[in-house]
Each structure stands twice: as structure tokens, then as C-alpha cells.
Amino acid sequence: MPRTICHPSTIQDYLNDALSPEDEGAVEQHLTDCPVCRQCMTTAAGSGDDWTTITSALRADELDEGRQIVSDQLLWPLTLLGPTDDPRMLGRIGPFEVSGCVGVGGMGVVFKARDPALDRFVAVKVLSPQLAASESARSRFEREARAAAAVVHDNVIAVHQVSEYQGLPYLVMPYLPGPSLEERLRQQGPLAPVEALRIARQVAAGLKAAHAQGLIHRDIKPANILLSGQTERALLTDFGLARAVDDASITRAGALAGTPQFMAPEQARGETTDERSDLFSLGALLFTMLTGRPPVPEASGMETIHRVGSEQPPRLSVLLEDVPRALEQAVSALHCFAPSQRVASAARAESLLESLLPTAGRRPLQRRHATDCAGRQSSLPANLKQLPVWQRWTLIVLVVCLCVAVWSKTSDPPSGHSAATASTGARRRPHDTPGTDSAVTGVTPVDIDPALTEPDSAADGLAARFGRQSSDTEASASSAPELAGSPATEQRPHDTTVPVSSDESESKAADTIKPNPPALEDPDGVQLDALLQSIDRQLEHLENR
């Protein structure tokens, strides 16, 4: 289709790598003669400030002492390429002329390349040399890539070709400049239910087609979902690659290629996986789209694997306000710990998600206040384990005292049920087992029994309180050991306040995204603060002995 070259949108597309090779050449030629487009290109690339900031950061000054400013050490993916005759290209893989490297991951390198036969850009994914060294990983990669090539569906990225170049298997896919779901979430935060469901439904449809061919994806995560242009089509990529990585035994060495945050529990435990494992990951994906963060926070590979394999996944309503019941049930039905209780097939998942679309909300669901604590809370057991046993117990006793103190100060007495839940949570803490985190917040981990999905507002109110305390305690608990003996101990008074970002843009971003920063605003909070400080002091005292 012919395009107007002299147009701002063409310039944008050029910078976004969204033009065909032919149009790219035309734009470059056109710029030589068109000062308007030249200006347009410059401002589209970055504001005047951007140009100044970046170029001055890259300019050597007297502090650099003649050292190399921009390292040329990151060129290793290019060593995978063969020589090319075209000076505009980086090299070639088989018949494909490589013009750039789109990404480097644990599994391999993705190049942007020109397909000379059809004069179009394609994405060429080359298995990393380390993985390719394992014979079973290689054959798995090739076998599964061929199987994926057989899946023809709107929501599964097409595999044009599977081949090998200098001992490295590669596959050729359409080049899609659109963002991945991961990028989208990072840029925009949580999605509106209607948008999240639309994407999840398409992923389910893609999985249905793949499962029909006996192909299990095993690595459904936001980075593997590509969003295509304005039509908002979601495409599944990277079939079978997860298995190739497993075969290469890299996982057993502890260096995980991918994130296990979206894995099904049975997969994390190394048990047999089936179609339902993909559906669990789909549930985790939906959870992430709605809340803006994965159900399991990022930690080291082994810790995450352990948590995924042993803990009940969190409920939506623990993190979000006013979750429609049907939506919560749907997420729980997918994101369900026991495979036998999960939605049984991708086809059912698709119709379930489809049925929710007409009533789905158009605005992202609001986060609960206590949500901000969840991330820190989760690291509490890990930090506790770092302390010697007697210190740990001292801390625990202090936390229990604190809980009791605040609870007795609460002006509106909570119902018997929720109080019992909360104190059970506090008492369970000494056992220090992962998986009791949610008990501290007063919310019991729930299987997908629909009767239990009704949010208990009294319990949640208390949960908010206790959530705050435990996480604040955790913050001070970890601050004392960390800073002891380091020069930074001097800034203790500064440290006991909520940490302030020194970066203006960061704090600005945080403000816009998080309308309700957790502040100690209630009267109890003042007391809480004092108690926390005394715990802090005692811990410091313990440390110094």
C-alpha cells in the first residue's frame, strides 16, 4: 500500500520501526531535501531537553580521564551473525539480512531482519549458544517450533520458518513493532476490566488452538503476549521455548531463564503439566492486568519457585476495591491452586471470559490502601530468617505486643470473628512458615468456593490496619541490621520516616500513579509511630551488643 512519505505519522512510524524496508529507504531519501520533515524527525526523537541531556551525558569531561564513554562490550549477539555485503546491515542469518537486535533474553536473541524474498521485515529468533549446546534442548526447540508453526490462529504468532544457521536453530516470525503486554502494563499500570478481559479472552482462544494440537505453552506471561497496533489484537509468542530451557538443565543450576512468577504450582514443583497449567498462568496474567502487578512479587528464582509451588494464590479483592463478584470468581477459577478445581479447558476459559465482557467496567479497579504493604509483607519471613533465633523471638514478642496495643486502642470494636482471625494471624507468625502471610492481614486463603468469595468488609477493615503495622515493623526490623556498622547509621532520624525519593521524576511518577500514599494519618498512627521507633531502638541496641 503506498504511503505519504512527507507526513508526521510516517516519521513516527519510522522511529517506531514500523515501516517496510522500502518505506524506510524512502523516508531517509526524503529527509535530505525536506527541512520540515527533518525538524519533525528531530523533535519526534526527543525534546530539546532530551537532546541536550543525553548528548551531554555522553560527552567526556575532566572526570573521565580519557576512559571509554560508551562501552562497545555489548556487541556479542552480533558474533552470531554471518558477514553481509550490504553496509547498511549488521550481518546475516541464512538468507535474512539483519538490521538490528530487538532483544536479548535468557533463551536467545531476537533480531530484526529483512526477508529478501518478500522485501518485508521479520523477527528472527536464535536459540542462545548456551542452550543450543544441549542436544535435547536443541531438538526440543526445533520440534516445538515446528509444532507451533502448525498452529494457525489469529491469536498465535505465525512461525514462517524453522531452520538452523551455523549450528544454532532459529525461527522466523512476522516482525511486530507493537508493545508487549509487559511494556503496556509498565507504561499504563493496571488495565480496565473490559480491556483485561478482552486480552485474556484472546489468549484463551490462542491456547485453545494450540492445545488442540497437543501443544502446551508453559510460559504464559505478559512479555510473551504481543499487542498489535490499534486493533488491540493479542498474539501469543514463544511456544515451546520454556521446555527447551528445562532440557538444558539451566534451571537446575539456579539461573532461571524466565520468571517463574506466572507458573502453575504443579509446574513449579516439577510435576507433570498439562493444558490446565497454561490456564493457571492465564489466571495469573489476568490478575496482573487488573492489579498492575504479578500475584507473586519478584524475588530470587528459587524463592519464587518455592512460593508459587506451595502457596495459595492471592484473591483479587485482597488488593482491589469493589471487585465484581463474577470477575473475582473467574480469576479464582483460573488462578486456582489445585489443577482438579481449575477451569478444565481453554475453550471453557474463553467462553467464561467472553460472558463477562458485556458487563465489564471501563475503568481500572482501585487499589486498596493496605495493598502497598503486600510487597514488603511478603519479604518479612525472609528477613526474619536472617536474624539469630533469640532476636527473632524478641521481635516477634514485640510485634504481638504492638498488635494487642493497637487493637485495644481501636475505637470501633471489631466483630468477634475478624478479631479472632487477626489474632490467630499474629500467633501464627512465630512458626514463620511461608504461606501464613495472608493470615496476618486477616484474610484467609480461599479456594474457589463461591460461597467464600463474598468480601467480608469488617475483616478487610481490620486487615488494612494490621497490614500496615506488620509491614512497618518489617521496614524498621530490616533497617537496623542493614545499617549497623555502616556509615549510614548517622542518618537514623531520617530513616524512620517514610523513605523519600531523591529523584524528582520518580516521586512525581509515584504521585500520579498512587493517589493515596500510605501515611500515618489516623490518631492511632501517631502511637504506632512511637511504638515502631521504640522497636527500632531496641533492635539497634540488640545489634550493637
Residues 81-110 within binding reach of other proteins (CB under 8 A): 87-90, 99-105
Applying CB under 8 A, among 478, 528, 531, 539 the residue interacting with other proteins is 478
Give the type of residue at 463: A
The DSSP string of 103-138 is EE-SSEEEEEEEETTTTEEEEEEEE-HHHHTSHHHH
Question: Of how many residues is the chain composed?
Answer: 545
C-alpha 399/C-alpha 477 separation (Å) is 10
Q: How far is the CB of 419 from other proteins (least distance, A)?
A: 29
Residue 38 or residue 428: which is nearer to other proteins going by CB? Answer: 38
Q: Quick check: 28 binds other proteins (CB under 8 A)?
A: yes
The C-alpha cell at 509 is: 511518577
Closest by CA position to 312, among listed 492, 457, 433: 433
* Ranges within 159-188 binding other proteins (CB under 8 A): 183, 186-187
In the block, residue with C-alpha cell 515446528: 146
Q: Quick check: 4 binds other proteins (CB under 8 A)?
A: no
Pair 238, 244: CB distance under 8 Å: no
* Ranges within 275-294 binding other proteins (CB under 8 A): 293
Which helix (DSSP H) or strand (DSSP E) does residue 164 occupy? Answer: strand 161-165
The torsion of the CA quartet 112, 145, 335, 373, rounded to 10 degrees, works out to: -30
Residue 38 or residue 233: which is nearer to other proteins going by CB? Answer: 38
Q: Quick check: 359 binds other proteins (CB under 8 A)?
A: no
Q: Quick check: 434 binds other proteins (CB under 8 A)?
A: no
Size of the site for other proteins (CB under 8 A): 94
Which helix (DSSP H) or strand (DSSP E) does residue 277 occupy? Answer: helix 275-291
Q: Quick check: 36 binds other proteins (CB under 8 A)?
A: no
Q: Quick check: 441 binds other proteins (CB under 8 A)?
A: no
C-alpha 173/C-alpha 122 separation (Å) is 6
In the block, residue with C-alpha cell 510485634: 399
Active site residue 456: no
Q: How far is the CB of 287 from other proteins (least distance, A)?
A: 15
List the Cα angle 435/440/445 in 5-degree steps: 50
Q: Quick check: 369 binds other proteins (CB under 8 A)?
A: no
Residue 33 or residue 412: which is nearer to other proteins going by CB? Answer: 33
Residue 95 or residue 189: which is nearer to other proteins going by CB? Answer: 189
Applying CB under 8 A, among 146, 417, 514, 541 the residue interacting with other proteins is 514
The torsion of the CA quartet 33, 34, 38, 39, rounded to 10 degrees, works out to: 140
Residue 206 or residue 294: which is nearer to other proteins going by CB? Answer: 294
* Ranges within 201-240 binding other proteins (CB under 8 A): none
Q: Quick check: 70 binds other proteins (CB under 8 A)?
A: yes
Q: How far is the CB of 237 from other proteins (least distance, A)?
A: 13
Residue 543, φ and ψ in degrees, nearest 5? -60, -40
Applying CB under 8 A, among 36, 150, 152, 255 the residue interacting with other proteins is 255
Q: Quick check: 300 binds other proteins (CB under 8 A)?
A: yes
Tell me the three-class secondary structure of 393-421, residue by residue.
Answer: HHHHHHHHHHHHHHHHHCCCCCCHHHHHH
Q: How far is the CB of 293 from other proteins (least distance, A)?
A: 7
Q: Quick check: 262 binds other proteins (CB under 8 A)?
A: no
Q: Which of 13, 23, 115, 219 is catalytic?
A: 219
Stretch that binds other proteins, among 67-75, 198-206, 273-281, 418-426 (CB under 8 A): 67-75
Which residues belong to the active site?
219
